Amino acid sequence: MTSDAAVRELFDEWAARLARGESPDPLAYLERAGPARDELARLMDAYLQAAPRPEPGAETLELARAWAAGASPLAELRARRGLRRADVVEAIVGGLGLAPEQAGAVRRYYHRLEAGLLDPAGLSRPLLDLLARTLEVAAGTILAWRARPLAAGPAFRTAEDRTMVKREALDDQEDDEEVRNLFLSGR
């Protein structure tokens, strides 16, 4: 099959899923396109610009309102499903076959994700899929909520005030490379 035919096939599959009301992950299709990803991206962009926009559902609107108000859409999704953060951590540990002692690292990284301090685009594919199942949403819904840029203003420090942030609390919590890769690998 020629590269053009493969790109058309991927595009047709993606567009058909959109037409059925699904939320296919465009990044997954771009990965599958390999060296032809730029051509597929161009077709997807053109399609999205020309296609009529569907009306958002009630849940999407409420998540957008939560995000606009400064709340976490992931925390909102979790709460709507009646889940505690500990439930999600347990689902990650059990669902990905992690050791029980890794739960602390999972809890810290998931908290950062929910708080908007980690970009969902950095999630590994297995973790993204597991979160989508746990929160009962499409993976694209999770990816759509980007971390907010931090608002930073000027800061001043006098010569008398040269205290450093104590790192003891952070140093007591060793990082776990396997867990870090789940949350920061980008698939």
Say which residues have a Cβ less than 8 Å from residue 104's Cβ, sequence separation at least 6: 173
| Joined tokens for residue 165 | 């942030």
* pLDDT, one tens digit for every residue, the chain (187 residues): 457 888 999 999 998 888 877 777 888 899 999 999 999 999 999 998 887 776 767 666 776 777 777 778 888 888 888 999 999 999 999 999 999 999 999 999 999 998 888 888 889 999 999 999 998 888 877 877 765 555 555 555 554 544 443 333 333 456 788 999 898 886 6
What is the DSSP secondary-structure string of 29-55? HHHHHGGGHHHHHHHHHHHHHHSPPPP
Please choose, from the candidates 140, 122, 100, the residue with its C-alpha nearest in 3D space to the C-alpha of residue 17.
Answer: 140
Please give the pLDDT value at position 149. Answer: 55
Please give the pLDDT value at position 1. Answer: 46
Please give the pLDDT value at position 171. Answer: 38
The residue whose two tokens read 């597991």 is 130
